[in-house]
Structure formats: structure tokens, C-alpha cells
A and B are shown apart, each in its own frame.
Chain A
């Protein structure tokens, strides 16, 4: 179980303020739906929580450890974020197998189960370069969950999926919540947010304006 505490977080990129005085507590076993207009700071908040961007001021505490001081990244994290792709020259299984060698917490069975859960064939030798957009998105979600992380950050997870894919991902995320994971979903899809979110968080110009 992971607790995430954001305190007075501010971030400027060049001259644009992308996060402004963000304060929030994310509780374990909860799904948070983050919404707002394009460029409002949804993805930046996910990046900050993942440890990918360095705050100008304020801090993020993950289980009471300060991000960028005590730890570089949340210790148990799954992430899908825009413009992030998998290795096109390998099949689905090999892509996750390569990643599994870093932390060594997921077995071959865990990898195959995660691929199956997103509706792909773990034994298929089809290279990712031949995947459709929807298949890539499914694999990207499998990549985020196959190590059973405590903290899952998903940017537009159902964007390129067909109806059956959307249903599959929704039920998968609800299962992950049952497991105790803290899940943040940044999305424009109101239906996704209605069905999945325990709390909806609105962001405007880098600020959390309503919950």
C-alpha cells in the first residue's frame, strides 16, 4: 500500500507555469480521475508524481520518503504516458521480459498473464512494429501492470481502444484497485472517469481547482 502526499508543488517549464501550488493526498486502493483542458497540466502532474520532472519548489512524499531527495522514483510504479512507445523490433513478451530484468520482481508467468489480461496473445511472435495503435496501447497498459505496482499512472489509457478494449481495461483497472493499488488516470473520456474514479480531480492552468 502506498501513500502519496503532494505539498505546495510548483513547476515552470521555460517561462510557462505547468504546475501551480499543487497540494493533494492520494490514498491507497483508490482510483483518481484527473481531467481538464488540453495543456492544463494533467500529464505534467503524472510526470511529477512519477519522478520524471524535477519540481521548482514543494515536495512529493511517497510513503514519507521525499521524491528527488530520498528516492529518485517511486519504488513500485507502473506508468503509461503519451509519446512513450515500446521496442518495435520485439514481440510483446520480449518487450516486457527486457523490462522485467531491471527489478526482477515479475516472473515469466506474470508477464504472460499481464499480456493475456489486456487481450493480447503472450505466445504471438508478431513484432510491435506490426501492432495496430490499439494493440500498442494494450501492451503499454500490460507494461504498467505486469509487476503488480502499488502506484499506477495512466495517461489517456483508453484513447485508441475499441469498445471491447475499453471494457477490458476498465475491468482490469478495477481489479488493480481491489488489489490495493493507487491509480491515477488522466483522461478526457468522461465515461471512463464516471465509471472508474472514486475521486475526480479537475486541473486548470496547473492548479487543482476542484475535487
Chain B
């Protein structure tokens, strides 16, 4: 049902993001091997980095748009009445979303590595540290939370409005996060500006250790899933 062409757009966004990251961040943060996308955006005025970072998110957001709402209308009704259990059905949808939301960052990791190798001949610079792995897990969890939120909103409003709300939240969070760090005021807001948690460079300012960040994101993700499950199993499909 979904427009699979969106995958190509996601890949394009990933390649662009990797090239820009390498160009802007490789000489500043050598200790992050090739996984510069895990660093995020250093300041609120680095618009080139921000735009390419956002391209990846918005393309993934478009890819998932309508994931739930399409199946609650039109042809989706024929599909859903053939699934005996609503709860199992929605759980399976979220599990599949989780899987895809892990695959996209893995592709990002691979493309970032390829871009770095093609741009530099010093192979000894490529390694995988515990810090990189933890940052990668946090990055995936942030994406899961944001996309799960978008899918949850689709149970109440149109997919277009859900996409718009989540994307505005993401843009405002990143810009506001940059300003908070710059002026060192309003730090207490940082934990609710979730996209900033995916950025290693900003996480240090949020006063959340890596393990607390993971627990915090897991808690949010599970809460959204639980709310989605409850809503979906009692929702009227008109």
C-alpha cells in the first residue's frame, strides 16, 4: 500500500547527511571514527548541518506517514477484519516499525563509513567503541519515540497533521536546544526536547548519563506503545 519510492528518498537523505557530516565534523571530532551522524548538531546556527540532519528525519517521517491511518480506512478495513486480534495486529505493526527504524540508522552507519573511506586513506581511523554503540542505541531509540508518537497521533488526526506536529516539534526542539546550550538557561527543558538526546554533542548538557538516557527513552517508547495499544483496541473504524 505504501509508496516504496520513499525508501529511495530516505537513502538519498542518508547519503547527503553523511557527506555533509564528514565535511563539517571529521576534522573537529576525530574520536568518533566515521559515525559523525551520532554527534548531531553542535550549535543552533550550523544550518547546513541542521538541514541535512533534518532531511533524514523528515524523509523517514514521510516514509512512515499513514502507516496506521491507511489501515483504518478503505482497503485497510478488508485487511483488519481478516486479522483476528486487534492487539496482536497493532503490536506487530509497531514491532515492524521498530525493525525498520533500526535498519535505517544501520544504513546510515554503513554509508557514513563508506563516505569516510572514500574520503580518507587512513584505515586505522575506523573503529567501533562502546561509546559509539551506546550513542547508536540512543539514536535509534529517539527515532523510535518520534515515529511511534507520529503513529499514535494518526489514531486521532489525519496523517498529514500528525506528520506536521511531530516535525514542528523536532525543529523547535533542535533550535531551542541549541539556544539553551548557547545561553545556558532553561536547561531543565532539555529532557523534554527529545531530538537533542540523540546528539552526543548535546547530551552532555542534559545531565543525563547514557544509561539513564536509554532508560528514559525506553520508558517513553513503551508508554507511547501502551497508549497506542489501548487506543487501537477500543477505536471505532468508520
A58 CB–B CB distance under 8 Å: no
Q: Hey, which chain B residues are within 8 Å of A81, CB to CB?
A: 77
> B5 at interface (Cβ–Cβ under 8 A)?
no
Does B95 count as interface, using CB distance less than 8 angstroms?
no
> In angstroms, how far is the closest chain A Cβ from the Cβ of B210?
40
Q: Is B212 an interface residue (CB 8 A)?
A: no
B contact patch SS:
loop
A131 to chain B, nearest CB (A): 14
Q: Which of these, A54, A73, A87, A99, contacts B234 with CB under 8 Å?
A: A54
Using a CB-CB cutoff of 8 Å, which residues 81-117 of chain B contact chain A? 81-87, 89
Q: Is the CB of B79 within 8 A of A99?
A: yes
Pair A87/B75 contact, Cβ less than 8 Å: yes
A50 at interface by CB-CB < 8 Å: yes
Query: Is B78's beta carbon under 8 Å from chain A?
Result: yes
* A72 contacts across to B, CB distance below 8 A: 83-87, 89, 233
Q: Are B86 and A79 in contact (CB under 8 A)?
A: no
Q: Bound state CA distance, A102 and B234, in angstroms?
A: 22
* Bound Cα distance from A102 to B217, whole angstroms: 33
Of the candidates B1, B83, B84, B85, the one having the most CB atoms from chain A within 10 angstroms of its own CB is B84
Nearest Cβ in chain A — how far from B234, in angstroms? 5
Beyond A83-B74, A85-B74, A85-B75, whether A73 also contacts B236 by CB under 8 A is: no
Report which of B78, B79, B80, B235 forms a contact with A54, defined as CB distance below 8 A.
Answer: B235
How many angstroms between the C-alpha atoms of A77 and B237 in the bound complex? Answer: 16
B118 sits at the interface (CB 8 A): no
Q: Does B238 contact A (CB under 8 A)?
A: yes
B93 to chain A, nearest CB (A): 14
Q: Are A50 and B82 in contact (CB under 8 A)?
A: no
Q: Mark A50-85, 1 if CB is under 8 A from B, else 0.
A: 111110000000000000000111110101010111
Q: How large is the interface on B (under 10, 10 to 19, 20 to 34, 35 or more residues)?
A: 20 to 34
A143 neighbours in B (Cβ, 8 Å)? 78
**One of B75, B81, B235 near A73 (C-beta < 8 A):** B81
- Tell yes or no: A188 within 8 A of B by CB: no
Task: Give every chain B residue within 8 A of A83 (Cβ-Cβ).
Answer: 73-74
Q: Do A53 and B238 have beta carbons less than 8 Å apart?
A: yes
Asked if B81 and A77 make an inter-chain contact with CB atoms under 8 angstroms apart, the answer reads: yes
In the complex the two chains form, is A53's CB within 8 Å of B237's CB?
yes
- Are B83 and A73 in touch, CB under 8 angstroms? yes
A84 touches B237 (CB 8 A): no
Most B CB atoms within 10 A — which of A73, A79, A83?
A73
Q: Is the CB of B78 within 8 A of A73?
A: no
How far apart are the CA atoms of A72 and B80 in the complex, in Å? Answer: 10
User: Which 3 residue pairs across A and B have the least CB separation, nearest first?
Assistant: A102-B82, A72-B86, A52-B237
New contact pairs (17) apart from A52-B237, A72-B84, A86-B75, CB-CB < 8 Å: A13-B238, A50-B81, A52-B80, A52-B238, A73-B80, A73-B81, A73-B84, A75-B84, A77-B81, A79-B78, A79-B81, A81-B77, A83-B73, A83-B74, A84-B74, A85-B75, A87-B75
B contact set with A: CB distance below 8 Å: 1, 73-75, 77-87, 89, 233-238
Listed by A's residue number, 23 A-B pairs whose Cβ atoms lie within 8 Å are A47-B236, A47-B237, A51-B81, A52-B81, A52-B236, A72-B83, A72-B84, A72-B86, A73-B82, A73-B83, A79-B77, A79-B78, A79-B81, A83-B73, A83-B74, A85-B74, A85-B75, A86-B78, A87-B1, A87-B75, A102-B79, A102-B83, A143-B78
